[in-house]
Amino acid sequence: MVNVGSIIGSGIFLVPATIALYLHSSSLIIFVWIIGGGVSLLGALSVAELGAMYPRAGGQYVYLSDAYGHLWGFLYGWTAFAVIMGASISAVAVGFATYLGYFVPLSTAGIKIVAIASIAALTAVNCFGVKAGAIVQNIFTFSKMAALFLLVILGFFLHAVNSAGWSTLTSFPALSGIAGPLGLALVAVLWAYDGWIEITYVAGEVKNPQRNIPRSIILSTFIVIVIYALTNFTYISVLSLDAISKSTLVAADAATAIVGPIGATMAVVGVIIAMVGCNNGFILTGARIYYAMASEKVFFKSFARIHPKYHTPVPSLVGQGIWASFLVITSTFNQLFTYAIFASWIFYAMAAGAVIVLRKRSPELPRSYRTWGYPFTPVVFILFSLYLVITTIVEDPRDAVIGLGIILLGLPAYFYWKKRAAHSTD
């Protein structure tokens, strides 16, 4: 539920319009969603081995530190705090407040206040133990899965199939002519699948992690592939491709076409539930990264403290919430979110590479789960990750340079904390 809830955010409600704009073929639309799911599954199959090997808090910070050295682990953790998690939490919180405005009109300042209040509320819940955060996650994840399945069922049984939407089902345009749009569509799809790695950040608090971490990563990715494929089948069955490409909230348009005006309200409620569950997953897992860094004395010292009763990294959770709230106030999360996507895939590639590095360097380490299809699986995932990074550099060099700059800003911070750690040891 942590993984599924973190993956299913606003992507399935917003990305289909972008995909339809790039690809004017229903068959290609379904194809790119399945391919994106397959690529994500390759990453999940790879990183699951690392999750079983290192059943402790920190996720990629731990893997990259062991495979490439502490500097690379720190650069990931630094980037996660600054943009990957920080900007994601801010963006989802503002999205939640914006959609809440459908029921309660909010000014620009009101949206920010509600967004910050949602961050504070979810942070508080997660301070009372991982079980409390998991209960909230389960409730919201089950709710949004049920909402999407309800949309699928109603679409198939209560609405006549839209022949215009499926008119291109069996026709595949020449790939040579759509290679560029297909690549951009794949980038958007992979953003919608992002989050399959979240459970690894709380591995230290999972029962029987050697068994349950790989299972959760792989099973959650399969579940989301099925949900996303069925949901897009429904969109295409109910709406024309042109209508999908012009829609700002395709789920609302599809629900309206099926059950009338009440459908829009149902869809907005679904988006709100999805965003709350998604942000709860980010807040729950992100704080464990900084806790792991602080425990090794390369981040704020207070972030290493654990609450004596609830056994949660309360200072790390609160610090994360304060930074995310600051980004909401300054409205810088929009820019940072773009950089976060770019940075994430650099570190995803390195995590998959860590599977290969550690197989060669430390074959004696216990591996209760070994990556299926090794070495093909991690190699293909690395190639896809590099493709996305290179595509971003070529198509949007400004954002790529700024994204790399944010990562490199971690260098002076790393040496500062390392120096402080050395002095405290002396």
For residue range 286-340, list pLDDT tens digits in order. Answer: 898 999 899 888 888 889 898 888 888 999 999 999 999 998 888 765 566 667 7
pLDDT digits (tens, 9 = 90+) for 34-72: 988 888 889 888 888 888 888 776 788 989 999 999 999
Q: Write the CA distances from 157 to 52, 124, 238, 253, 356, integer angstroms.
A: 42, 42, 11, 17, 48
Number of continuous H segments (helices) and E segments (strands) in the chain: 18, 0
Cβ-contact 156, 361 below 8 angstroms: no
* Angle at the Cα of 279 from the Cα atoms of 274 and 285, rounded to 5 degrees: 130
Hey, what CATH topology would domain 2-425 get?
Amino acid/polyamine transporter I (1.20.1740)
pLDDT over 80 at 2, yes or no = no
> What is the pTM for the complete model shown?
0.82
Nearest in space to 283 (alpha carbons), one of 397, 170, 413, 137: 137
pLDDT over 60 at 168, yes or no = no
Q: For the chain, give the percent of residues with pLDDT over 70.
A: 91
> What is the chain's mean pLDDT, rounded?
83
3-state secondary structure at position 183: helix
pLDDT digits (tens, 9 = 90+) for 118-146: 999 999 999 987 777 778 878 888 888 88
Cβ-contact 66, 354 below 8 angstroms: yes
